[in-house]
Chain A
Amino acid sequence: MSTATSSVEPGSATRGWRLPFSPWHLVLVPLTFVLVVPMLWMVATSLQTQGEANRFPPVLLPHDPRIANYADAWHTAPFGTFFLNSTLVALVVVASNLVVCSLTGYAFARVRFLGRKALFMALMATLMVPFQVTMIPVFLIVKWFGDNVSPYLGINHLGALMLPNLATAFGIFFLRQFFQTVPVELEEAARVDGSSRLGVLFKIVLPLSMPAMSTLAALTILTSWNDFLWPLIVITSTDQMTVPLGLSYFQGAHQTNWPLLMAGNVMSLVPMLVVFLLAQRYFVQSVAGTGLKG
């Protein structure tokens, strides 16, 4: 919350008059409620009995909240391992994406090199074919890495979950867009002072792009954390499974154990909340705040 007070409000010309609470709460509270309804339902279901969860229209408040669902869900399968696996994958993927995508995104934003436009379009093109279609080729390529480079990169290893996601066209495009908004005069000044391109990126552009970098980090971790189809295809033993795969333990062929599934979902959500709260410190940072003028 300390960061919030230092944030800059574009429409704050009305700074003169202050209410006991901001009238904005009257807008923000209902808005927030609409956005979090699915999460509230998840939490409610996670505390219900099977009978309550098998109701339509849904029961909102459990009659006698069953906290034990969480313990039951946790003990259904080695969820400790699943959380560890998911964490490892997300950390490697986010670290790699921040480095690789910022280098690539910066080059696309600022460096005028031969083949820039063609290369950018080629990278963007990879986003345009549904994964359902490219899934088998990606599987074969990853398998090749496992057979020829290192088994830890191959099928049924966490490496297989990291490898195809180390850099994403999404991240490159995202950062390219944000880097282009950094005032070019600042970069010129540093270039005249003899800084290399890399120097400019690390000394000027990245510090000014913390909101974008932390946003990308949060989005990348989230995507990696929730990824389902690719791990489903590539992981074939329990000790390499991630959290979303573990949730399959609650969804049978014909029925679903809703309370345990939602307890598992809520547990899976907690680390993402932590990530967001950590990243949020950096979300809010203005050009003015760094002492630079636009």
Chain B
Amino acid sequence: MAGQDAAAFPPAARPGWVGRLRRSESATGWMLVSPGAILIGIFGLLPVLMALKLSFQKSDLLTPETPWVGTRNYRQLADDPRFAEAIQHTIVYTALFVPGTMLVGLLVAAALNRSVRFISVYRTAAYITMAVSTISEGIIFLWLTDKDYGLVNATLNVVGISSQPFLASTSQALYVIVAMTIWGWTGFAVIVYLAALQGVPVELHEAAAIDGARPFTRFRTITLPLLSPASLFLMVWLTINALQLFDEVYLTTRGGPLHATTVIVYYLWDQAFVQFNAGYAAAMAYALFVVIVIFTALQFWLSRKFVHYS
């Protein structure tokens, strides 16, 4: 990033000139960001701060009285085995879902990024997976993975493997959710990678091809580095979403069987709107917030090594 920052200044600038330019750069910068910053400040940041207060209160969302309890909600979190379990499930889920979706998305996008007939039909199909409601995906997956009537087990039986319980099993259910959500998010990753692939100059490939580089080598040495800003975007965005997984769990397993798919936001929702412990749920959200901030900061920090801009 240092390189492109320097590029923002004319090379011949003297120190005083740089100082003035910096001030005017700041003015320009703030002018450009202010509409977005104000809007997100009001409707994003302010609610985050308002909800933070709730995490220091005892609140059931029902009674107006919300006594201040200091850090009790947070201390309670530390002793809650279900929360520890939920963190573990969330981390396992994220660790599989994020790379899985990026890999599948990249492969599909690479396959779709070519000039064959009907390519726009194929691309539309990828996009459709995003437009289709989660409930349809959930129902299809329940059917595919049903222990008695599902297609997956029918296929396994044909090749001599006995039927698996999948969502009815405490040890397999989380992995079924991983597969289901990778499927559901593939369209998103494909669309992002397709947009990024448009920025890969064909001349680089042609030059490398003339030098005798094989297609896979060209993909690895030319395409992948040029896709790295999009990859960073996907990694961060998918991680943020993975750590906040809720809908798919709500629509299929309800966190079960026996809490095996209870991830943090599902547990949080359960505490707030089933058990009426909203203050505790808020504390959970901010514990999660810290986790996401750390993950994201880590990703940006790592990105300095592998992301190449222009």
Interface residues of A (CB under 8 A from B): 1, 3-13, 21-22, 24-25, 27-28, 31-32, 34-39, 41-42, 56-58, 99-101, 103-104, 106-108, 110-114, 116, 119, 121-130, 132-134, 136-138, 140-142, 163-170, 172-174, 177-178, 180-185, 187-188, 191-192, 197-198, 211-212, 214-215, 218-219, 222, 225-226, 262, 265, 269, 272-273, 276-277, 280, 283-288, 293-294
Contacts and interface: CB of A to CB of B under 8 A. Distances in A.
A169 to B, nearest CB: 6
B36 A103 contact: yes
B203 interface: yes
Contacts, number: 341
B36 A172 contact: yes
17 contacts: A7-B115, A11-B215, A28-B116, A35-B108, A101-B36, A122-B45, A129-B286, A140-B50, A170-B237, A177-B233, A183-B310, A197-B32, A222-B130, A265-B132, A272-B131, A286-B199, A294-B203
Contacts of A31: 108, 111, 122
Interface in B270-310: 272-273, 281-282, 285-286, 288-289, 292-293, 296-297, 309-310
B113 interface: yes
Nearest to A99: B35
Interface string B196-221: 11111111111001000001001100
What 4 pairs between A and B have smallest CB-CB spacing?
A: A113-B29, A126-B44, A104-B36, A137-B47
Interface in B168-222: 183, 186-188, 191-192, 194-206, 209, 215, 218-219, 222
Contact of B199 (A121, A134, A272, A287): A287
Given A36-B129, A273-B124, A276-B124, A218 B196 contact: no
Contacts of B137: 38
B118 interface: yes
Interface residues on B, range: 35 or more
